[in-house]
Amino acid sequence: MAEKQKHDGRVKIGHYVLGDTLGVGTFGKVKTTR
């Protein structure tokens, strides 16, 4: 599974830093990344 790290309130998965949530569905959330 992907490695998850949390720094300064941001969640990093692999090469991606998760941002705002765009939407929520039945099976999960859609988020922006950087």
CA distances from residue 27 to 8, 12, 14, 16, 24 in whole angstroms, order as listed: 27, 21, 21, 21, 8
Instruction: Give per-10-residue mean pLDDT for the chain (34 aa).
Output: 68 93 97 94
Give me the pLDDT at residue 2, please: 63
Tell me what pLDDT residue 30 has.
Answer: 96
**What pLDDT, on the 0 to 100 scale, is given for residue 5?**
67
Q: Is 13 exposed, middle or buried (0-12, 13-18, 19+ CB in 10 A)?
A: middle
Strands (E) located in the chain: 4-7, 10-13, 16-24, 29-33
pLDDT at res. 9: 74
Note the pLDDT of residue 19. Answer: 95
Say what the pTM is.
0.58
Tell me the domain boundaries of the chain: 4-33
